[in-house]
Amino acid sequence: MDLLEFNELVSEYGKNYVWKFTKHNTSFKDAYNATRLFEYWISNPATTVAKFFGKHYASVDLEKPNYRALIIAQLYGLITKNFKTYKEESITNVYNSLAESSEDKFNKIATEQVLKFKMPPFTQDIKTVYTKRHIFPAIFTYQVLKNLKVKYAINKISMDLFFSFIATANFHNEIEFVCEQIQLKKSLSSDTINQFEDESRIKGVLNNLSLFIIDANEIALNPSYESVMDTFLLTEKGSFYKNEDLKDETNYKAYLINYQNFNISLIQKDSLQVSANPLDIEEEKYKDEVEKTRISASERVTLLNNKNLEPTLEESATSRLKRNPKVGKLALELSNYKCEIDENHITFLSKSTNKQYMEAHHFIPQPNFKEYWKNFNKNIDCVENIISLCPTCHRALHYGNIETKEKNLKILFEKKIDNLKATGIDITFEELIKLYI
């Protein structure tokens, strides 16, 4: 690449020459939450994906009911991209790894997927992008900024220069050319840059990583993460961007959707803040099942005497452990249908039981089922781990602020901890709080 060729390409392809892909929010957190909703829909697609997202998008903290956010989830390897309709697609190995991970591992997987993000995107109409490139934006941006820092003592650059030369690169071997142009500090015309910035969402992709410090006008490396990135790039896995096989779309898709265990986090702790709460629609389904179920005398004896029955899997595209509504119903019966935060809370008489309406809530929440069974051989879907709550107190545990959650959890912890310990489930109050915030 030389300057003459570069200018000719910019002139020929115009706004389509920048790193361009679908105009949607590129937040990894939102892509993950959209996939959570997709996972639920695909297991029982009774309505269209558009209608389902329109009704339930707020359940996963999405700001808009736009199901096309799933395109970004595909670019991050959370959903497959093999067919023309979403009904034929499925969640991936990467998504399953995220759904079952701790916060630290979640950030490592998210980091890996952002680093694996490649141009040109396989979801984009080839008529609207420049396709003669093979480049990983996060890796290349780091390489250029690092080279500028070491070779030219340039610690930050304008976003004009970023969009002029970094976000238009085609291959990783163009680092020297890009750095030479940037150090001259002569960007493209303001009209061209405005078009590039309008067409590209790459800044949002890079903003997922704490590796970069980005504002409206400049971009720089975050010194706190440089040594981590430098070390990673020296490893075999860190040289994946050199793999010629990944130029093939089929090979790249297979690589993207499978967890490669880069084992690197370039995301600041707590910055993603992905909620582990079950979806509202899952909760409504479970509450309805608990309300309507009946328990026979023999079932009651079995549930009370067998504290550690092996959990079952949901019949869906996921392998999430299923909550037994009979256990929830028994817990409500044992509480005499009273709110365990405050017995004076009054609701209404249920048409199913003719008792005061209460809701069953797992004290150690459902997302931790697998961890407890796998690591401790304990099924936390047991009456000792289920509390009876009025609807207001139940929602307070899911959606209340930290102070409200701590206050209510303290009351419940003092009531439940002895029974939990008796079944072999031991947890401190500090550990419990972390599951809710």
**Do 109 and 136 belong to one domain?**
no
Q: What pLDDT score was predicted for residue 317?
A: 44
The residue segments making up the domain with residue 106 are 22-118+249-263
Q: To the nearest 10°, the Cα dihedral for 276, 273, 96, 86?
A: 100
Domain termination site, one of 204, 236, 263: 263
Residue type, 361: H
Residue 377: which pLDDT band, with cuts at 50, 70 and 90? confident
Q: Are residues 323 and 426 in the same domain?
A: yes
* Residue 49, φ and ψ in degrees, nearest 5: -65, -35
pLDDT at 211: 97
Kindly indicate the confidence band of residue 222, based on its pLDDT and cuts at 50, 70 and 90.
very high
Whether 239 is covered by a domain: the verdict is no
In a domain, 398, yes or no: yes
Question: Do 302 and 416 have their domain in common?
Answer: yes
Which residue is associated with the tokens 């803040």?
273
Residues 108 and 46 in one domain: yes
Q: Return d(Cα 210, Cα 265) in angstroms, integer.
A: 9
Residue 176 lies in a domain: yes
332 and 426, same structural domain?
Answer: yes
Task: Reduce the DSSP state of residue 106 to 3 states and report it.
Answer: helix
Q: How confident is the model at residue 86 (pLDDT cuts 50, 70, 90)?
A: very high
Burial class (CB in 10 A: 0-12, 13-18, 19+), 63: exposed
Residue 346 CA from chain centroid, whole number? 38
Q: How many domains does the chain have?
A: 3
pLDDT at residue number 213: 97
Per-residue pLDDT at 274: 65
- 293 and 254, same domain (yes or no): no
Tell whether 114 and 155 lie within a shared domain.
no
Q: Is the pLDDT of residue 77 over 80?
A: yes
User: 144-165: per-residue pLDDT in tens?
Assistant: 999 999 999 999 999 999 999 9
Helices 249-256 and 103-116, axial angle in degrees (round to 10): 170
The pLDDT score that the predictor gives to residue 321 is 67
Q: Are residues 301 and 427 in the same domain?
A: yes
CA angle 388, 277, 396 (to 5 degrees): 50
Span 296-354, pLDDT tens digits: 999 998 888 876 677 766 654 445 567 899 999 999 999 999 999 999 999 999 999 99
Question: Which secondary-structure segment (H or E) carries 408?
Answer: helix 402-422
Task: Check whether residue 2 and residue 142 sit in a common domain.
Answer: yes
Q: Using CA atoms, how far apart are residues 331 and 343, in angstroms rounded to an integer?
A: 15
- State whether residue 68 is helix, strand or coil: helix
pLDDT at 437: 78
Mean pLDDT of 117-143: 84
Q: Phi and psi for 386 in degrees, rounded to 5?
A: -115, 135
Residue whose token pair is 């809710």: 436
Structural domain includes residue 180: yes
Q: What is the mean pLDDT of residues 13-34?
A: 90
Gap between the Cα atoms of 422 and 400, Å rounded = 30
Residues 193 and 302 in one domain: no
The predicted-structure confidence for 392-404, as pLDDT tens digits, reads as follows: 999 899 888 999 9
pLDDT at 425: 87
